Amino acid sequence: MNVLVIGGGAAGMMAAAAASEAGADVILAEKNEKLGKKIYITGKGRCNFTNACLPDDFLANVTGNPRFMYSSFCAFDNRAVMDYFEKNGLKIKVERGNRVFPLSDKASDVTRTLETVLRKNRVRIMLRANAKELLIKGGAAAGAIVDTPEGQKTIRADKVIVATGGLSYPSTGSDGDGYRFAKALGHRIVNTFPSLVSLRAKLPGDMSVRDMAGLSLKNVRLLVYDGKKKKYDGMGEMLFTHEGISGPIVLSLSAMLDKKYLESETALRGLETSIDFKPALSLKTLDDRLLRELDEAKNKNVKTVMRRLLPESAITAVLMQAGVPAELAVHELTRQQRGGICNALKNFRLILTGLGGYNEAVVTRGGIDVKEIDPATMRSKLIPGLYFAGEVLDIDALTGGFNLQLAWSTGHAAGKGVMNE
């Protein structure tokens, strides 16, 4: 059995490893000068390659088509992935949030481990090999036409696995090739969006957040409502950028928003979005604390007192939403104005205006419609002999190692699938 795997990222390498371990003769074609280029930048170069949560909890962190993932994940789950890498020589560790990393903190060790497996199984690795077109013979996948440094080549195969990634981090070679291949063969492509990405945002009155850029916040709460319906409630860290907001809880928000908000700026702007700077304090407790701070500084202005409650770069915007002049003397502050400050601290309003770009997105949301893919083998239901794996599919998850696990599980399923059908 001759198998061609197109794409040498996480899903492609795992697919090639699984197929070769099952006895296939495998060619792995990668357009870049090395394998696993995107792996090198994951986890800030440390590669959070899976999550050690209980397997039953894993799918709760999959935001895009978790039901589709059930079969492939059960066949090769997070525990199996950890065992696989350890068995092949990678020492690992588990950190906060059950995030799993190589003990060395080097993403290159994850790629090197897989390369060792591929070479041991005699996978033929072709670098700088850019697949341009899939070959179809008798209605079935039969290989691909590939550009190489030596010129264009035709690679024939009994089965083809496409694992070309999505659109995120295009500098790593993710430029949508897989979508083009699939669409040309009749597959439906679900609209794609950057995910696990920053959000563009403004202050009320369409005022820029630029003056708050660089502000990093810990232990805050981010709330999003559509009317009375709560759309998101996240606690943790976030930061302000020149164009909006980012950080862990913002990335999660970008992955969990309904697509209708991403498709329309009007719908996105209509969401009621707010930050609670003091989630551990009730409104009454916060008012009591503010009153104490004011009593100790009666001869100062309000802005000076606010430095005891907030970072400097947040004070002006909070007081503006409270309707309180920053230079107002403390002894002139009314009870109503004090209440306005407390409300602004507990309900600091933002207006979301859009997503950050693919160049900063961790993953792509959307992709090949999974209704047209067999969930156990990743086989195309439209084209015999054709398989898809990884981010090219309409699957995605939250941060914490979950997205790479999707790549491992679907890649493994595809690699095994080509030999079982």
- pLDDT tens for 213-249 read 999 999 999 999 999 999 999 999 999 999 999 999 9
In tens, the pLDDT along 265-312 reads 999 999 999 999 999 999 999 999 999 999 888 889 999 999 999 999
* Confidence band of 30 (pLDDT split at 50, 70, 90): very high
User: Is 420 a residue whose pLDDT tops 90?
Assistant: no
Task: For residue 310, give both structure tokens.
Answer: 């907030």
User: Is 421 a residue whose pLDDT tops 80?
Assistant: no
Across 111-134, average pLDDT: 98
Residue 151: burial class (beta carbons within 10 Å; 0-12, 13-18, 19+): exposed
Decide if 313 contacts 211 (C-beta within 8 A): yes
Residue 202: burial class (beta carbons within 10 Å; 0-12, 13-18, 19+): middle
Across 176-180, average pLDDT: 96
Across 35-54, average pLDDT: 94
Residues forming beta bridges with residue 64, ordered by sequence position: 396
* Confidence band of 56 (pLDDT split at 50, 70, 90): confident
Residue 226 host element (H or E): strand 216-226
Nearest to 174 by CA among 36, 64, 66, 45: 36
Across 325-352, average pLDDT: 95
Look at residue 104 in the predicted model and tell me its pLDDT: 97
Which residue is associated with the tokens 């997205």?
Answer: 403
Computed over every residue of the chain, the mean pLDDT equals: 96
Look at residue 298 in the predicted model and tell me its pLDDT: 80
* Confidence band of 174 (pLDDT split at 50, 70, 90): confident
Decide if 39 contacts 195 (C-beta within 8 A): no
Across 189-210, average pLDDT: 96
Look at residue 217 in the predicted model and tell me its pLDDT: 97
Q: Residue 308 CB: number of other CB atoms within 10 A?
A: 12
Across 417-421, average pLDDT: 88
Decide if 27 contacts 4 (C-beta within 8 A): yes
Residues forming beta bridges with residue 134, ordered by sequence position: 144
* Confidence band of 74 (pLDDT split at 50, 70, 90): very high
Residue 294: burial class (beta carbons within 10 Å; 0-12, 13-18, 19+): middle
User: Is 147 a residue whose pLDDT tops 90?
Assistant: yes
Across 197-215, average pLDDT: 96
Cα angle value 50/55/59 (rounded, 5°): 80
The terminus-to-terminus CA distance of the chain in angstroms comes to 11
Look at residue 242 in the predicted model and tell me its pLDDT: 96
Which residue is associated with the tokens 């009593």?
Answer: 295
In tens, the pLDDT along 12-28 reads 999 999 999 999 999 99
CA 111, CA 11: separation in Å to the nearest integer? Answer: 12
